[in-house]
Chains A and B, each alone.
Chain A
Amino acid sequence: MSEWRFRPARDHGLTLAERVQSYDRERGLGSLITSGAWRLLCRLYLRVVHRLSITGMEHLPPPPFVMVANHSSHLDALTLASSLPWSSGRKAFALAAGDTFFTSTPASVFAAYAVNALPVWRKKTKPQDLDDMRRRLTDDGGVLILFPEGTRTRDGTMARFRPGVGSLVAGRPIPVVPCWIEGAFAAWPATAKFPRPGPLRLIIGEPLLFTETAQDRAGMVAIAEACEAAVRGLAPKR
């Protein structure tokens, strides 16, 4: 017979306000149902209003993995999360700017329960936070949705990838799935308050593995460059 394997939730004893902002957050039934319904709603919206088409679904590995993409719109994270099949979609989590999405408890509850977002506080990320994130990937078998540019593009061109993504996957068997989102900048740029109807396309590339890459600065930079090149390579030729 196996050892007793049940443990209390990592976030046990936190109040709701603390819990929704905590990196120790673990999802229960309520959160799964809420986010499942939210993803379904997003999928419906994207299909109907933005006529979203997806290619490369067959490239998605089983969790855990990291999804990286170009970032030009609030539609990006919704597009990636809602395109995942249920088995990996329910394990998806995204990073969201704390000062935009976690400004109040109701906003944080929405971000946590519907989107399963974790707050990032600009310039305040500690090494411990990266460890927690890595644990969410490996121990929980999660799917991290990440935009390595760090912020939405203001002019439609893709910026350089920051090396942070490398520290999560260097020397570990966690694949990185490069994705290209086309049309999101036209539909909902950072300067607009609301989205406009317009076609969206999601292209999912083949996963990259960095099991042999060194866990140092040079390795991280190399991974960021490789991911960036892979994402750029998916962009439709103009």
Chain B
Amino acid sequence: MSTAFAHPVTIGIVAATVGVVALAAAIIALLSVTGRVSPALRRELWLRTGSWAVLLPLMLGPVLIGRVTTIIAVTILGLLCLREYDRATGLFRDVVVAATVALGIVAVNWASLDQWYGFFMALMPLTVVLLAVVTIPLDSPDGYIQRIGLGIVAYMLFGASLAHLGYMSNDPNYRPIVLMLLTTVAINDVFAFTFGKLIGGPKLLPATSPNKTISGAVGALCGTSILVALIASQIFGGTPVGHPVLLLLLGAIVSIGGQCGDLMLSSIKRDLGIKDMGVVIPGHGGVLDRFNSLLLVAPATFHYLRYLDAIAPA
């Protein structure tokens, strides 16, 4: 317990998330009592808040407990994302490719558990090569490029990229950093929604995602950059990384990475002609609908922080 909450930022983030969910529940309860919202909206609000109340302990708990649980949680998250992607795209019908990607996800997370940075990185080309050759013995070249393409995208996103989140936990001081990424990526979505609603204006990419506005994107970029810089200054203050420009840049990476991840999933869904990737999380949709923003943020922030020597090398 004392190690889990050793850093004040950890305490702050956990307290803030518990507070926000409690506040949301209180507001919804108040609105329900005064009868100011329709029953349908009330149900939707409860569903979303309830989902968060289940999701947050599942997200923050493993990070607080330790390195091993963090990496296991990232592995499970990667496999759940793969499952949804497989079923939405139809890749699950190619059992060999789907199994190879799953194997790659397990392998890359094992490398991060083993703190074997060389293998962690090598798995990128190795898995791609394995995917490229593994269906050749089936002697069915029909659709070869399609299944390999789908398989490589799946491994790169849910294996190689997402596993960076787990690898970060090999740093002794990982808790506040990982918690900051997990929470600010979600707040980035909230900023985009709120600024978009408040300011309005032209749409960002109407064919990809009809509800997103330019004002929302810029608002989120500014809001998240400042928020991340503020939290990160408490983590990296007094070190060379503590320079305000570097911290704002970290925030910008979180915001841009998060929004790009969101738009990437929107593009996939538009192309497939489906609304949600799944139905696992009531009020949110699938696992990917919730965690899409993390996919690009994890590797981008990892390598930025490593470049600045802000997290320990392997």
Residues on A close to B: CB < 8 A?
1-2, 4-9, 11-15, 26-30, 32
| Cβ contact within 8 Å between B88 and A28 | no
14 CB < 8 A contacts A-B: A5-B142, A6-B93, A6-B146, A8-B89, A8-B272, A8-B274, A9-B87, A13-B276, A13-B278, A27-B92, A28-B86, A28-B87, A28-B98, A29-B102
Contact partner, B87, options A5, A12, A32, Cβ 8 Å: A12
| Cβ contact within 8 Å between B274 and A13 | yes
Minimum CB–CB distance for A27 against chain B, Å = 8
Minimum CB–CB distance for A138 against chain B, Å = 15
Enumerate chain B residues within 8 angstroms of A5, measured Cβ to Cβ.
142-143, 146
| A26–B229 CA distance with the chains assembled, in angstroms | 47
Enumerate chain B residues within 8 angstroms of A9, measured Cβ to Cβ.
87-88, 90, 92
Enumerate chain A residues within 8 angstroms of B55, measured Cβ to Cβ.
none
Enumerate chain A residues within 8 angstroms of B86, measured Cβ to Cβ.
28-29
Residue on B nearest A8 in the bound complex, by CB: B88
Contact partner, A1, options B99, B102, B145, Cβ 8 Å: B145
| A40–B93 CA distance with the chains assembled, in angstroms | 22
| Cβ contact within 8 Å between A6 and B150 | yes
Residues on B close to A: CB < 8 A?
83, 86-93, 95, 98-99, 102, 142-143, 145-147, 150, 272, 274-276, 278-279
| Cβ contact within 8 Å between B143 and A2 | yes
| Cβ contact within 8 Å between A29 and B274 | no
| Cβ contact within 8 Å between B279 and A15 | yes
| Cβ contact within 8 Å between A12 and B88 | yes
| A160–B145 CA distance with the chains assembled, in angstroms | 51
| Cβ contact within 8 Å between A30 and B88 | no
| A74–B146 CA distance with the chains assembled, in angstroms | 43
Q: A2-B143, A13-B274, A15-B279 are in contact. Are A7 and B90 (CB under 8 A)?
A: yes
| A13–B285 CA distance with the chains assembled, in angstroms | 9
A13-B275, A32-B95 are known contacts; what are 19 more A-B pairs with Cβ within 8 Å? A2-B143, A5-B142, A5-B146, A6-B89, A6-B90, A6-B93, A6-B143, A6-B147, A8-B88, A12-B274, A13-B274, A13-B279, A15-B279, A26-B93, A28-B83, A29-B98, A29-B99, A29-B102, A30-B83
| Cβ contact within 8 Å between A2 and B142 | yes
Enumerate chain A residues within 8 angstroms of B99, measured Cβ to Cβ.
29
| Cβ contact within 8 Å between B92 and A29 | yes
Minimum CB–CB distance for A136 against chain B, Å = 13
| A151–B7 CA distance with the chains assembled, in angstroms | 65
Tell me if B's interface is mostly helix, strand, loop or mixed.
helix
| A111–B142 CA distance with the chains assembled, in angstroms | 34
Residue on B nearest A9 in the bound complex, by CB: B87
| A233–B175 CA distance with the chains assembled, in angstroms | 71
Contact partner, A4, options B95, B142, B146, B278, Cβ 8 Å: B146
Enumerate chain B residues within 8 angstroms of A6, measured Cβ to Cβ.
89-91, 93, 143, 146-147, 150
Enumerate chain A residues within 8 angstroms of B92, measured Cβ to Cβ.
9, 26-29
| A229–B274 CA distance with the chains assembled, in angstroms | 49
| A28–B146 CA distance with the chains assembled, in angstroms | 18
Q: Name which of A14, A26, A27, A29 has the most chain B CB atoms within 10 A of its CB.
A: A29
Minimum CB–CB distance for A5 against chain B, Å = 5
Q: Name which of A9, A14, A27 has the most chain B CB atoms within 10 A of its CB.
A: A9
Enumerate chain A residues within 8 angstroms of B274, measured Cβ to Cβ.
8, 12-13
Give the 4 A-B residue pairs with the shortest CB-CB distance, closest first: A6-B90, A28-B92, A9-B87, A7-B90
| A5–B83 CA distance with the chains assembled, in angstroms | 19
Enumerate chain B residues within 8 angstroms of A28, measured Cβ to Cβ.
83, 86-87, 92, 98
| Cβ contact within 8 Å between A8 and B90 | yes
Enumerate chain A residues within 8 angstroms of B102, measured Cβ to Cβ.
29
Enumerate chain A residues within 8 angstroms of B278, measured Cβ to Cβ.
13
Minimum CB–CB distance for A6 against chain B, Å = 4
Enumerate chain B residues within 8 angstroms of A12, measured Cβ to Cβ.
87-88, 274
| Cβ contact within 8 Å between A8 and B142 | no
Enumerate chain A residues within 8 angstroms of B272, measured Cβ to Cβ.
8
Minimum CB–CB distance for B12 against chain A, Å = 37
| A5–B278 CA distance with the chains assembled, in angstroms | 21
Minimum CB–CB distance for A139 against chain B, Å = 11
| Cβ contact within 8 Å between A14 and B143 | no
Residue on A nearest B142 in the bound complex, by CB: A2
Minimum CB–CB distance for B200 against chain A, Å = 31
Enumerate chain B residues within 8 angstroms of A30, measured Cβ to Cβ.
83
Enumerate chain B residues within 8 angstroms of A14, measured Cβ to Cβ.
279
| A8–B150 CA distance with the chains assembled, in angstroms | 13
Enumerate chain A residues within 8 angstroms of B88, measured Cβ to Cβ.
8-9, 12
Enumerate chain B residues within 8 angstroms of A2, measured Cβ to Cβ.
142-143, 146
Minimum CB–CB distance for A9 against chain B, Å = 4
Residue on A nearest B101 in the bound complex, by CB: A29
| A4–B147 CA distance with the chains assembled, in angstroms | 10
Minimum CB–CB distance for B51 against chain A, Å = 14
Enumerate chain A residues within 8 angstroms of B90, measured Cβ to Cβ.
6-9
